[in-house]
């Protein structure tokens, strides 16, 4: 059980929703993480170690441009050495690999991020695996995936979305006086980016973990027994609110754009964002739940900054 003091410290992190569930405020928690990263980066810089992050963007995908701007802005706010390479769609795979090689050998760069998706002519896996595992702040390299799979969290760079989701769960558990250790956890989704690493993180905290997916038989029953539900399947409101066990902690990783009501200022049909969990009904059953937007999303960039800081420290043998 969490102490009263620990629960009190969570009061400004989890805000009551007016329903049974508490809302896990990912935006506020991400701000706390970023402030901690910035403070430690400042201290490291004073000792001659300035964390460096390089972001490579290929093409002019509008969504990718927005994400990259957000990442670069966060890196600068944290006091990092931040560089961004905007490359045209016409860049060859050979040229892109050469750019990665140069960054791998640059001592001022501790983290390298390749913004996805890449043009179809480029073999994305080959490019991602070219990044040095020590600078793989996305946590996608097979070396880091292997470290995570054997439970070596001291050396692994963990994918940012699962890492952020785990932090949200820890805060929720503390606020509710719940335990992750021994809990029955279900991860709905089996991707290499979220589902599988999320399951490994939960295992490292001694949860009993089930990985379910869109083809699981009787998904309702699987979800219904879980103390912890992490939804990362990429289907809008696939997890029904009435499936949620009373008092369960729910982390909704899904971000799905669906039709809204009416027209926008340009006369186009409005859209809205929903998660993989039917949020309204889930509020009536869950103990704590992440909203969409404002839950897991902000944590991804915050954990990218934390990974960059960690990579810089590991480069000097610091814990």
Active site residue 252: no
Concerning whether 71 is annotated as a catalytic residue, the answer is yes
pLDDT at 265 over 60: yes
What does the pLDDT average to over 9-13? 53
pLDDT at position 101, please? Answer: 98
pLDDT tens-place string over residues 86-102: 999 999 999 999 999 99
Q: What is the pLDDT of residue 16?
A: 67
Separation between Cα atoms, residue 32 and residue 42, nearest integer Å: 16
Residue found under tokens 């329903």? 19
pLDDT confidence of residue 9? 47
pLDDT digits (tens, 9 = 90+) for 144-190: 999 999 999 999 999 999 999 999 999 999 999 999 999 999 999 99
279 contact partners, CB below 8 Å, separation of at least 6: 237, 241, 252, 289, 291, 292
Q: Return the number of other C-beta atoms located less than 10 Å from residue 44's C-beta.
A: 18
8 pLDDT higher than 50: no
Decide if pLDDT at 12 tops 80. Answer: no
Q: List, for residues 232-261, the tens digit of each pLDDT value.
A: 999 999 999 999 999 999 999 999 999 988
Is residue 10 among the annotated active site residues?
Answer: no
**CB within 8 Å of 97: residues ≥ 6 apart:** 126, 127, 130
* Closest C-alpha to 110, from 128, 133, 127: 133
Among 55, 33, 124, which residue's Cα sits nearest to residue 310? 33
Q: What's the confidence (pLDDT) of residue 213? A: 93
Tell whether the model's pLDDT for residue 264 goes beyond 70.
yes
Could you tell me what percent of the chain has a pLDDT over 90?
Answer: 86
Q: How many residues does the chain have?
A: 319
52-109+115-151: CATH number: 3.40.50.10860
Mean pLDDT in residue range 52-62: 94
Q: The domain 4-26+159-298: what is its CATH number? A: 3.40.50.720
Quick one: which of 94, 99, 126 has its CA closest to 112? 99
The residue from 136, 138, 252, 276 that is catalytic is 138
For residue 3, what pLDDT is reported? Answer: 40
The residue annotated as part of the active site, out of 71, 135, 196, 245, is 71
Q: What is the mean pLDDT of the chain?
A: 93
- Identified catalytic residue from 10, 25, 115, 196: 115
Q: Where are the domains of the chain?
A: 4-26+159-298, 52-109+115-151
């Amino acid at each position: 059980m969490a102490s009263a003091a620990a629960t009190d410290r969570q009061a400004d992190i989890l805000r009551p929703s007016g329903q049974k569930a508490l809302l896990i405020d990912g935006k506020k928690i991400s701000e706390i993480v970023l402030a901690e990263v910035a403070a430690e980066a400042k201290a490291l810089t004073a000792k001659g170690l300035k964390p460096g992050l390089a972001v490579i963007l290929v093409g002019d995908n509008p969504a990718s441009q927005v994400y990259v701007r957000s990442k670069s802005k966060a890196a600068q706010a944290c006091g990092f050495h931040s560089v961004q390479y905007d490359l045209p769609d016409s860049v060859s795979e050979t040229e892109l690999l050469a750019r990665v090689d140069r960054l791998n050998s640059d001592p001022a760069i501790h983290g390298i991020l390749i913004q996805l998706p890449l043009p179809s002519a480029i073999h994305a896996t080959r490019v991602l695996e070219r990044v040095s595992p020590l600078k793989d702040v996305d946590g996608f390299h097979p070396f880091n995936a292997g470290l995570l799979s054997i439970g070596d969290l001291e050396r692994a760079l963990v994918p940012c979305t699962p890492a952020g989701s785990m932090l949200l769960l820890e805060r929720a558990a503390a606020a509710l006086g719940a335990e992750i250790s021994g809990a029955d956890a279900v991860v709905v989704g089996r991707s290499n980016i979220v589902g599988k690493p999320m399951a490994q993180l939960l295992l490292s905290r001694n949860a009993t973990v089930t990985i379910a997916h869109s083809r699981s038989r009787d998904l309702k029953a699987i979800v219904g027994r879980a103390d912890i539900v992490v939804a990362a399947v990429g289907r809008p409101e696939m997890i029904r609110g009435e499936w949620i066990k009373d008092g369960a902690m729910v982390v909704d990783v899904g971000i799905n754009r669906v039709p809204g009501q009416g027209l926008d200022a340009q006369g186009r049909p409005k859209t809205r964002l929903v998660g993989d969990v039917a949020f309204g009904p889930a509020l009536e059953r869950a103990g704590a739940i992440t909203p969409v937007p404002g839950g897991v999303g902000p944590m991804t960039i915050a954990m990218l900054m934390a990974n960059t800081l960690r990579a810089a420290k590991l480069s000097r043998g610091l814990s």
